[in-house]
Structure 1
Amino acid sequence: MPLLLELAATLLDAGLPVDGVLGTLARDVGPCRGLQPVVRSLDLGLGWHRSWQTAPAALRGLGEALAFAHLTGAATADLLRAAAEQERRREARNAEKRAAELGVKLVVPLGTCALPAFICLGIVPVVMALLPALG
């Protein structure tokens, strides 16, 4: 999503209208092929929000980011770049959170493997060495 937002911002900076940006993305960017029904709906004159109901869920964030530019006609390339940066930060936070959860989830399997080895290599030889002294 951040890359698509950056690409949309660049296309807006190049002078394309929002409908042109969507058409270019739908035509030339593989993961954005799902935008073709949205582009056709907008060409037929349907409203922005109604047109985006047919979009894949993964691309709806792009629609939310471009809605302001479409509805007001304001230059929003900088807003799109800021949204892309915010999305990158959110993805980084989610990756850090998943990495922290992974550390917790790995404790049980590692303990299951390491505890028997510790018992066999650490405790059993000590007990075996102490048995003749006790008897």
Structure 2
Amino acid sequence: MIVGLLVGGFPGLLAAALVTPITATVLHRRDPPELERDRARIVADLPFAADLMSACLLAGRPTSAAAHIAATAISGPLGLRLTWVSTQLKLGADPEPTWSHLARDPATAQLARAMIRAAQSGAPVADVLTRLADDAREASRAESVAAARSVGVKAVAPLGLCFLPAFVLLGIIPVIAGLATTIVLP
């Protein structure tokens, strides 16, 4: 609608007819803010949960108990998912389909894949969880560094928008005006 008013006339109507469905598709494709907040909290809690589960497993607890202890310690969205998994495992569900249920969410997919691989290969789950926690911490650290670097880049744009016109007006135009007067006037 706004595009139609800005462009005006028949081209404006045509542009509005093209832009409106594209804008609606882009806006509907975004995840709700609550889901984004939950995913961010899961990503932040994942290293601690993996370390806690690993410690429980090294102490001799079964996987279901380790997931339950981590769920109660962490709570939040990751705690809810781990509570569901621990309940299913306590009831005797097969570990692979139970953990694969968590693989649907991108935030918990890494944990689910690690637990499925450990169940299939028979690898020590505590070692897998320790590696998962280290990888999650490293990914979080890399993301923080990238965000910090992008702030520096974003801070330069307003400075450039302020200083570039001043440089042109105070530095280049007087030089060109001075050259123009010597060339035009004999």
TM-score (norm 1): 0.68
Distance 1:14 1:52, change over 3 A: same
- Whichever residue aligns with residue 15 of structure 1, its letter is G
Does residue 1:92 correspond to 2:141, yes or no?
yes
User: Corresponding residue for 1:51?
Assistant: 98
Which of 39, 52, 67 is 2:116 aligned to?
Answer: 67
Does residue 1:25 correspond to 2:70, yes or no?
yes
Does residue 1:39 correspond to 2:80, yes or no?
no
State the number of aligned residues. Answer: 134
* CA-atom RMSD in angstroms: 3.5
Distance 1:13 1:65, change over 3 A: same
Deviation at 1:53, TM superposition (A): 4.5
User: Corresponding residue for 2:48?
Assistant: 3
Contact in 1 for aligned 2:50/2:133 (Cα 8 Å): yes
Identify unmatched segments of 5+ residues in structure 1.
Answer: none
Higher relative contact order (CA 8 A, sep 6+): 1
Deviation at 1:104, TM superposition (A): 6.0
TM-score (norm 2): 0.53
Which of 110, 115, 132 is 1:83 aligned to?
Answer: 132
Cα distance between partner residues in 2 of 1:16 and 1:115: 64
Aligned with 1:46: secondary structure? coil
Contact in 1 for aligned 2:54/2:127 (Cα 8 Å): yes
Name whichever of 88-97 and 115-124 sits farther off: 88-97
Deviation at 1:20, TM superposition (A): 0.5
Does residue 1:122 correspond to 2:171, yes or no?
yes
Name whichever of 106-115 and 23-32 sits farther off: 106-115
